[in-house]
Amino acid sequence: MDEERLVRLVARGDRAAFEELYRRTSPWMAVRLRRRCADEQIVAEVMQETYLAVWRAAGAFAGAAVGGSATGWLWTIAARRLVDAFRRRAHHAEPPPAAAVPDAAPAAEEEALAATVGGDVGDALRRLAPELRQVLQAMVLDGLSVRETAVLLGLPEGTVKTRARRARIAMRRTLA
């Protein structure tokens, strides 16, 4: 039984299907979340919130009828929950001192990117504008489709395609 069928069964309240979906998808979900966030507490919270949302909203899953996949749908939920967690943390964080900090620590996403992609390619990727880098990360590193990337980033599909093309052109120029 594939993940899409499991989501459909979860929508009918099938706990065994939910447990099987969790067993199949939670390992890669945790790995993907850890690539974007080094804080295990946040990763655990996002995992819990994601699967709670899946249990509650499985009936809203449109699936292959709209060109999506169950795993893409799960990742979209998780990515949004991760952004929400970062926003909550930023909202409750202490404001930085007024003095400028010359050696600011890199963002968790930048550290994960450095660990994943190194050398000239990593340098070229880090030089991209943030909106171009986000699209490339989602499509290349996370393996999402144009449609899934559009949903994840809240952009029209045409914008995702344009940014992906601009990012590839910029990468070629930098690496030439």
Annotate 135-170 with three-state secondary structure: HHHHHHHCCCCHHHHHHHHCCCHHHHHHHHHHHHHH
* CATH code of residue 45: 1.10.1740.10
- Global pTM reads 0.54
Taking every pair of Cα atoms in the chain, the longest distance, rounded to a whole number of angstroms, is 57
What total of structural domains would you count in the chain?
2
Please say which residue of 31, 63, 97 terminates a domain: 97
> Does residue 84 share a domain with residue 52?
yes
> Does residue 82 share a domain with residue 44?
yes
- Please report the pLDDT score of residue 87 as a whole number: 80
> Does residue 85 share a domain with residue 35?
yes
**Cα(123)–Cα(174) distance, rounded to whole angstroms?**
9
pLDDT single digits (tens) 26-72: 999 999 999 888 889 999 999 999 999 999 999 888 776 667 788 88
Hey, what are 132's tokens?
């171009």
Is 160 a residue whose pLDDT tops 80? yes
| Cα angle for residues 137, 55, 9 (degrees, 5° grid) | 100
> Does residue 166 share a domain with residue 113?
yes
- Please report the pLDDT score of residue 112 as a whole number: 45
> Does residue 167 share a domain with residue 124?
yes
pLDDT single digits (tens) 78-88: 999 988 888 88
Q: Which domain holds residue 136?
A: 105-175
Mean pLDDT of the 3-28 span: 94
Please say which residue of 64, 97, 130 terminates a domain: 97
- Please report the pLDDT score of residue 119 as a whole number: 62
> Does residue 86 share a domain with residue 37?
yes
Please say which residue of 79, 97, 115 terminates a domain: 97
pLDDT single digits (tens) 91-124: 665 554 443 344 444 444 444 444 444 566 677 7
